[in-house]
Amino acid sequence: MVAGDRVVGRKTSARGKSGRPPDSENIGLIEIPHDHLLDRALDLIPERHHILARPPSGSETTAVHGDAGLPYLGRMLQYMRWGPAEMMGRYRKYGPVSMNTSLGVDRVLVAGPEALEEVLGRRRRDFGQGWDYFIGPFFRRGLLLLEFDEHKFHRRIMQQAFTRDRLAAHLAALTPVVRTSIERWVPQGDAERTVRLYPTFKELTLDIAGEMFMAADVGPQRRELVDAFLDCTHAALALIRHPVPGGNWRAGLRGRRVLEDYFRAMLPDKRRTETSDLFSGLCHARSEDGGVFGDADVVNHMIFLIMAAHDTTTTAATAVTYYLGKHPDWQQRVRAEVLALDAETDGAAPTIADLEGLRDLDLVLKESLRLMPPVPGLCRRAVRDTEVLGHYIPAGTQIDLAYQVNHLLAELWTEPELFDPERFNEERREDKSHRLAFLPFGAGAHKCIGMHFGTFEVKTVIAALVRAYTWQIPDDYRMPWGFTTIPFPRDGAPITLRRR
């Protein structure tokens, strides 16, 4: 049922209500935790009620209300600590359209299926991209930061890297690289080893991105490049947005220079000889009227694409591995179907059709992306005075589309705090409860261009992992997610892998 512009009510399980207490591994995504002194301290900060802007005289719209938070910082500390639980709290208190302040800027939080649909489905160009404030200096003129016709033109050229035929070729080359790398995580002769999963995955996915998109071995410079990308992404939410010594902003600018130098050094060879990788493709692409990408555009696109390709995949693979460690029954189900495929194909590299046929792995991946999407939302900006669900939004307003809130709403999902991959099976298909219930790759014109490649990459990595190892995560361990532009485990996600 609907109350005002809020959807209320709770889906009941197709199996009946479980009667189980909230799942402790995920309740922190929905409810603000209080088991740490910092959480309790942040929760004690008094709210400062604030109105975004008064509607014009004679307007039938209403003002957007919310909490301005601390001076300058606003509610940034709460978001970095709590992520989706912070957004869920705003949604419950103020409804699907609310305001908050972050780093001195008033922002509007849009959450819930109806509110998101109004923004994403708007035919009129009322909203442009809003990422410049956060990542503009570090990923300038990347595909996500382009708008309207220019974005469409650049996206069409870049789409050449993601056709099904190209994906099939990439997949054939990807599998041996992944299997060989993962086999080395536990040295020969050792029965087990504890690794920090997140940085280990990050190095692997950067190697994959280098091979797939540049036809280059990044090994000799891997550590420097990983650090540069990390510095750029962490700088997005830097509290001090000036290059002061020791600050995240300065580190991000330094990381950007490292990445520019790396890609510029490769440009002459890529322009000289046309090959099948994306880097070369961008160097040789021509528009219908003969236009070409300049060196700066090629470098900008490569920096953004490599970041998007390996950062998001790292978070997704980390989340899947975490949940498989928490739920050994699902780990065994996934392993059984991977080994069955190996038996059918004599261990050959899986095809796209093979990966699509791994049903249990697909269910686990979708449920992991529901609970922890690598991109929890999208930043937009009002390019003219407009409204959302009757709320007045003045031109220039920064807007946060909170996709992850939709993933956790009890109106859309049965017991959303539970890890329950079967909610995606054909009998239940809870992701169909609303067109915008499940948005792991975004929606609209800026929907992830590499979503199919990313899906196949994560499946390939997890398949190799369950072939080689078993692992189990203690009941009392809960992943300490941190939140910048892309979620990451603050402790690196330590895990003990045991050879099978």
Q: Which residues are annotated as a binding site for heme?
A: 448
Judged by DSSP in three states, 76 sits in helix
DSSP string across 309-331:
HHHHHHHHHHHHHHHHHH-HHHH
What is the bridge-based pairing of β-strands 97-102 and 65-67? Answer: parallel
Contacts of residues 215-223 at CB distance under 8 Å and 24 or more positions apart, as own/partner, are 215/275, 215/276, 215/277, 215/279, 215/280, 216/266, 216/279, 221/262
DSSP 408: T
Name the β-bridge partners of 62. Answer: 391
- State whether residue 109 is helix, strand or coil: strand
Q: From the centroid of its chain, how far is CA 5?
A: 28
C-alpha to C-alpha distance for 355 and 346, rounded to whole angstroms:
15
CA–CA dist 483, 76 (Å, integer): 10
Dihedral angle sign, alpha carbons of residues 448, 454, 455, 456: positive
Q: How many CB atoms lie within 10 A of CB 329?
A: 8
- Here the tokens at position 152 are 């469409």
Q: Which residues contact 198 (CB under 8 A, 6 or more apart)?
A: 314, 318, 488, 489, 492, 493
State which amino acid sits at residue 410: A
Query: Comparing C-alpha atoms, which of 317, 352, 341 is closest to residue 493?
Result: 317
* Closest alpha carbon to 287 in 132, 459, 154: 154
Residue ranges for the known binding site are: 448
Asked whether the beta carbons of 440 and 446 are under 8 A apart, the reply is no
- Retrieve residue 238's tokens: 């830097």
Residues 6+ apart with CB under 8 A from 102: 69, 73, 74, 75, 76, 79
Q: Is the separation of the CB atoms in 186 and 471 below 8 Å?
A: no
CB-count exposure of residue 500 (10 Å: 0-12, 13-18, 19+) = exposed
Output phi, psi for 499, to 5 deg. -65, 140
